[in-house]
Structure 1
Amino acid sequence: MKTINYPNFDEQILSETLPNGLKVFLNPMAGFKRTSAVLSVNYGSADTSFVRDGKLINQPAGIAHFLEHKMFDKKDYDVFELFNKNGGRSNAYTSFTKTNYVFSSTDNVNENLELLLDFVMQPYFTEEKVNREKGIIAQEINMYKNDPDNQLFTTSVQSMYPGTALADDIAGSEESLSEITVDDLNLAYDTFYRPENMTLMISGNLIPDEIMELVKTNQAKYPKRDMDVKFINPQPKNETGETRILSMDVSRPKASFTLRGNINLKKGQSTISLKDELGLSLLMNLFFSENSVQYDDLYHQGIIDDSFSFEVEVERGFEFVMLAGDTDNPEQLVGKLHDIVDQIPALIDTKQEEFELQKRELLGNYIAMMDSPEAITNQFYGFGDGPQTVYDEIEVISKLTLEDIKQISADFLANYTPGCVTIGKKV
């Protein structure tokens, strides 16, 4: 096993790539009783179009999320019930570019780990079970359609990336669900659920040699499946941004202002650097967190309330910032947010004191994760140019300077596309 040392935290990550291509990472945490693991697949809702062995393949929206649901439903047992019997907590979630399967437990760790590995590596799809699942997910989709906050987020992403897979809801639509077949699921599974396209991260109470041997023995059942697969990154054609207006049953209007990054990777980069990602989050904290002067001004003018927040998304092939909240005057809020964004380059030099405070607060949030095996595994990212851990993130944040933030600001703000979405009351 290779060792990545973090001497500042007295921690280490042990790693090994197995013969079938699965990358395994272990983080033994002395003094902890709980163990947490995440089996991550480099495949998400945005990957409905891809090139496999030179052939372009298009699949229905929502198939990655559908596949995640079906992995728990086996021929003669329910995966959740087995985890419960073993005293483990299990879950899964699909993002734009990843599907994660997780468990944590204090007892029966080996049994739970084998269960995690086997149920994800052993698909079981039948037409009857697939059709039944369509009804379940359709109910989920309709539930979210009636959630104004969910619709604000979903429509905001659609406005930034029209005509791409990102414009589709992660769960798809009732129409796209009706198109999903057993053959579609088998093709998606065969393409992406290959050990070499997956990572396993385990942290907490563990003996590395014993756990690694267990994983190796288990994975000997699942051979490597070589194939040439290329992802297709979202490339929206709109250059000027979009404004969208919705009407829903809301007690107060909602609005979002979005900044779509137009990625220009530096030479040698395959993904946005961790420094740029964390720096962008810190930049937004400086101007839009509750501790910022700009937030305070908007709050005391009555333009925003404590529902206001921002989200920074940086994933494979795209990056964006979304600022959103409830407001009596959506147009005024969007205009004010746009004005603040335009002023950032001129104001950033005045933020040295705020930068130090925000940096310490952000560091505190990440350091708190070090006390949770679940947080460490959920925060882990094993794809791209190399593994990224909580410990890496803390080290990067601690070295960030205001000059770094200025450069990140210049790179992002010089080449972004604005947009907005408002949700008003039904008349």
Structure 2
Amino acid sequence: MNKHTYEEIGETIYTKKLENGLDVILLPKTEMAKTHGLFTTNYGSIDLEFVPIGKDELVTVPEGVAHFLEHKLFESEKGDVFADFSKQGASANAYTSFTKTAYLFTATDQIEKNVETLIDFVQDPYFTEQSVEKEKGIIAQEINMYDDQPDWQSFMGTIKAMFKHHPVNVDIAGTVESINKITKDDLYTCYNTFYHPENMTLFITGNFDPNRMMQLVERNQNRKDFKEMKELRRNFPVEPQEVATKEKKITMPVSITKCTVGIKEANLDISNEAFLKKDLLQGMILDHYFSKGGEFYQLLYEEQLIDDSFFFETNLDRNFGYTLIGSNSERPTEFADTLKEMLLRITNAKLTSETFERIKRKKIGKLLRSMNNLETMANLYTHYHILDLDFFSILSTVRALTFEDAQQFMQNWISEERLSVCTIAAE
């Protein structure tokens, strides 16, 4: 077991890659009353085309399999896993994103038992034709529910407007038509390939003894057998730099129009160092201009183009990336035009070195605050770990960013061809 102390933030982390390939990361925080466990596979909704473990040929599976698997794993031959966690005083949950699926619990008691429950149910799939068919109806209801949510339709509508071929443009849950094509064999094929320990990370943080916890996890894994995984091969289509469509309009029964501008990120085939710089600067510059104290936010608010629903977010991965900025607006066309003009203006904007130092200090403060929350820290650490980056080293990266780094990033960040607008309007 490797021990690493980050003096700057006063944290000590314990890591070990087990013989079966599982990455175990322990962050003891004995001052905390609770413990949080997060078991994550590097597998999400975009992984539709791949070579199954033990095979040589690419296969394509129906859209929505990753999300379907998340649902099914909570059912075992013995019953409902949620009930097991509840009996042990734990709150459990799971989520599927474009790139990963995660299972988690939070508890203040019976920690070791809950950790074993977490690992065991994720590593013990049980699918029958009958249970798969039953689940299709449940997930179809969930899909129909999201179809009626303007916020989700705005999110996915903007993604679809930006991406032409990449499977990020497919709803995470799939469609009613696609999930009806899913078979028990599809689930086992995806499970056996992507839920291999070599492709997974177990992160535990909170009140526990790291040596005892690592021994528990190792004993658990030594009782199980997994096929050898040499290389995990995924396939993604070639995606153009420009957006699929400049404008997309969706009509729904809404009382006020919702408008989102998307920036399709480019030039992601870069080194780890360059990727992290881009990831950090993107968030920092967005926050500078569009947080409530930001210059562009103030202008949009004073012109009454936005309301309290205004938001911005950015997501950067190894083979896709996007930034979304949106709001409810009584004048959506004017909002979109003004926002696009603001974004393009960033290319030639002139920050001062003093301003950039303030931006850096604000980012450092946010990072430090995030480290006080077990759930947030577990998610962030795992996210960056899967990208082969160390979350606890980010503070030093932020401090090392220069004014010239920011200027260069801003000059190359946004172009007209990579902007899309999605509007959710009344029927």
TM-score, normalised by the number of residues in structure 2: 0.94
Note closer, same or farther for the CA distance 1:318–1:27 as it changes in structure 2 (3 Å cut). same
Q: Which moved more, 1:206-215 or 1:364-373?
A: 364-373
For 1:12, the equivalent position in structure 2 comes to: 12
C-alpha separation in 2, matches of 1:271 and 1:65: 32
C-alpha separation in 1, matches of 2:189 and 2:244: 35
Alignment size in residue pairs? 422
Shift of 1:264: 4.1
After superposition, the C-alpha distances for 1:241-276 in whole angstroms (9 at most, x for unaligned) are 41111111111111111110123423xx36962222
**C-alpha contact (below 8 Å) 2:32/2:206 kept by paired residues:** yes
Shift of 1:172: 0.5
User: Counterparts in 2 of 1:244-393, with a 5 A limit?
Assistant: 244-266=248-270, 269=271, 273-350=275-352, 352-381=353-382, 383-384=385-386, 386-389=388-391, 391-393=392-394
For 2:234, the equivalent position in structure 1 comes to: 231
For 2:181, the equivalent position in structure 1 comes to: 179
Which AA in structure 2 matches 1:359? K
C-alpha separation in 1, matches of 2:87 and 2:316: 37
C-alpha separation in 1, matches of 2:406 and 2:42: 29
Among 79, 91, 94, the alignment partner of 1:92 is 94
For 1:120, the equivalent position in structure 2 comes to: 122
Note closer, same or farther for the CA distance 1:222–1:410 as it changes in structure 2 (3 Å cut). farther
2:363 aligned counterpart, secondary structure: helix
1:346 aligned counterpart, secondary structure: coil
C-alpha separation in 2, matches of 1:64 and 1:19: 26
**C-alpha contact (below 8 Å) 2:347/2:412 kept by paired residues:** no
Which AA in structure 2 matches 1:9? I
Q: Which moved more, 1:352-361 or 1:397-406?
A: 352-361
1:380 aligned counterpart, secondary structure: helix
Note closer, same or farther for the CA distance 1:271–1:363 as it changes in structure 2 (3 Å cut). closer
C-alpha separation in 2, matches of 1:423 and 1:238: 25
Shift of 1:387: 4.5
Shift of 1:416: 6.5
C-alpha separation in 2, matches of 1:71 and 1:406: 47
Shift of 1:355: 3.6
C-alpha separation in 2, matches of 1:205 and 1:292: 39
**C-alpha contact (below 8 Å) 2:41/2:199 kept by paired residues:** yes
**C-alpha contact (below 8 Å) 2:243/2:417 kept by paired residues:** no
> Does residue 396 of the first structure (1) align with residue 400 of the second (2)?
no
After superposition, the C-alpha distances for 1:386-427 in whole angstroms (9 at most, x for unaligned) are 3533x333333343333222222234326961111111111x
For 2:210, the equivalent position in structure 1 comes to: 208
Note closer, same or farther for the CA distance 1:131–1:280 as it changes in structure 2 (3 Å cut). same
For 1:151, the equivalent position in structure 2 comes to: 153
Q: Which moved more, 1:368-377 or 1:305-314?
A: 368-377
Shift of 1:158: 1.1
Shift of 1:30: 3.2
For 1:75, the equivalent position in structure 2 comes to: 77
User: Counterparts in 2 of 1:27-46, with a 5 A limit?
Assistant: 27-46=27-46
Q: CA RMSD in A?
A: 2.0
**C-alpha contact (below 8 Å) 1:156/1:421 kept by paired residues:** yes
After superposition, the C-alpha distances for 1:155-194 in whole angstroms (9 at most, x for unaligned) are 1111111233112110011000100000000000011000
C-alpha separation in 2, matches of 1:92 and 1:189: 16
Shift of 1:69: 0.6
**C-alpha contact (below 8 Å) 1:45/1:62 kept by paired residues:** yes
Shift of 1:217: 0.3
C-alpha separation in 2, matches of 1:348 and 1:152: 32
Shift of 1:348: 3.4
Runs of 4+ in 1 over 4 A off after TM superposition: 382-385
**C-alpha contact (below 8 Å) 2:268/2:318 kept by paired residues:** no
2:423 aligned counterpart, secondary structure: strand
TM-score, normalised by the number of residues in structure 1: 0.94
After superposition, the C-alpha distances for 1:109-144 in whole angstroms (9 at most, x for unaligned) are 000000001000000001111111111111111111
**C-alpha contact (below 8 Å) 1:14/1:25 kept by paired residues:** yes
After superposition, the C-alpha distances for 1:68-114 in whole angstroms (9 at most, x for unaligned) are 01000112221111111111111110010000111111100000000
**C-alpha contact (below 8 Å) 2:82/2:92 kept by paired residues:** yes
Note closer, same or farther for the CA distance 1:360–1:90 as it changes in structure 2 (3 Å cut). same
Shift of 1:378: 2.0
- Where in structure 2 are there 5+ consecutive unaligned residues? none
> Does residue 2 of the first structure (1) align with residue 2 of the second (2)?
yes
C-alpha separation in 2, matches of 1:153 and 1:385: 24
Shift of 1:366: 2.2
Shift of 1:239: 2.9
For 1:408, the equivalent position in structure 2 comes to: 409
Shift of 1:203: 0.9
C-alpha separation in 2, matches of 1:257 and 1:241: 14
**C-alpha contact (below 8 Å) 2:43/2:100 kept by paired residues:** yes
**C-alpha contact (below 8 Å) 1:45/1:97 kept by paired residues:** yes
